[in-house]
Homo-oligomer: A and B are copies of this chain.
Amino acid sequence: MARASNGRQSSKTKKTLRKKLLPKTSHKAGRPPGTLVHIGKVPTAAADIRRIEYNPQHMTDQVISSPLDCRPSAETTMVSWINVNGLHDLPLLEKVGVNFTLHPLVLEDIVNTEHRPKFEDFDSYLFIVLKMLHYDIPSAEIHTEQVSFVLTPNTVLSFQEKQGDVFEGVRERLRNNKGRIRKMGSDYLAYALLDSVVDSYFVILEQIGEQVELLEEELVSRPTPETLNKIHHFKREMILLRKAVWPLRELIGGMQRNESALVTDATGIFLRDVYDHTIQILDTVETFRDVLSGLLDLYLSIISNRMNEVMKVLTIIATIFIPLTFIAGIYGMNFDHIPELHWRWSYPALWLIMLTVGGIMIYYFKRKRWL
């Protein structure tokens, strides 16, 4: 039963591992670079585009029906945020790309949902790819969704794989004119979106941390083979998580060092803050890895301890009774001439001898600290 469920888990695992590790760009081997190939699952919902335009005074929020309308705003006093959900509608994306004169490789990276997080400066715009993470508590698995940003002087384009994101707080602040967001430019908007993604990692680390603690408690109080599977599972999730967050440092560090006119100094200070958070996330991931390695060592030591304890019990019992059984066997023999058999007190004397032998052995084990 447990084995069967392990089997199921591992077959799910299998898909996850392949999905997480393999970029699947192999499907496009042989095609010219810049060819758009969507490699995620095709969702049933249609792709939708939503544009939010704002300045300190006004804000509009509308769903755009035609990609033709998805072009740089003529109105330069307003900042636009155009969010595209769904990467399977390749003609739509191509049109958006043409409207904003994006390099073909940028579009290729946007739809290649297995891309490594990175930052690139194309002079007239900045391009950022990173991962939104979602932690699925029941299966204890981390799911990733790629999100890409293109930052132009007064517009931020964002591309997501599917509905549902971590940007609701940003939208809220835009709507309610909270904080400084409506007063600042598109670079601050891009920062705010980046910050939302990075902050959401803390939530996931907290959830994982909680489970690692439960695991540690379980390990100390009542370790089972299942505990081992869980440690192994979390170790592997950490390998994958690390692969996802490690490039972040480089990404945001690169943005900071970048001297593009697109990022103002005022926003630069905020980027420094995101950078600090990124370092903290990396630290925490490494710490979790160390903690999990420690748990595995502990598990192995506990198993060794137990085996030692089991062996001791076996050895004590066997060592005491095997010689006594031998003695009993001697006097169970049917030789005609065993003089002891006929003595009056030999049975009680034998008991005495046996108790003495047993007592000596118990004393010996006590001295060896086996008891």
Contact = CB atoms under 8 A, between A and B. Distances in A.
Contacts of A314: 311, 314-315, 318-319
Given A105-B273, A329-B332, A369-B222, A296 B296 contact: no
Nearest to A225: B305
Contacts of A331: 333-335
A221 B6 CA distance: 7
Contacts of A56: none
A34 interface: yes
A352 interface: no
A69 interface: no
Contact of A217 (B14, B220, B225): B14
B17 A284 contact: no
A179 B32 contact: yes
A317 B307 contact: no
A10 B217 contact: yes
A196 B328 contact: no
A288 to B, nearest CB: 7
A310 B313 contact: no
A310 B296 CA distance: 21
Contact of A32 (B7, B17, B23, B173): B173
A303 B303 contact: no
Given A6-B220, A213-B13, A228-B298, A169 B31 contact: yes
A133 to B, nearest CB: 13
A336 B288 CA distance: 70
Interface of A: 3, 6-7, 9-11, 13-14, 17-18, 21-26, 28-35, 103, 105, 109, 115-116, 118, 120, 166, 168-170, 172-173, 178-181, 192, 195-196, 199-200, 202-203, 205-206, 209-210, 212-214, 216-217, 220-222, 225, 228-229, 232, 235-236, 239-240, 243, 246, 269-270, 272-273, 276-277, 279-280, 283-284, 287-288, 290-291, 294, 296-308, 310-315, 317-319, 321-326, 328-338, 340-347, 350, 369-370
20 contacts: A14-B213, A17-B212, A23-B280, A23-B284, A25-B277, A32-B180, A32-B181, A105-B273, A225-B305, A232-B294, A240-B287, A296-B301, A307-B307, A314-B315, A321-B325, A326-B328, A333-B334, A337-B344, A337-B346, A338-B347
Closest 4 CB pairs of A and B: A30-B169, A32-B179, A328-B329, A331-B333
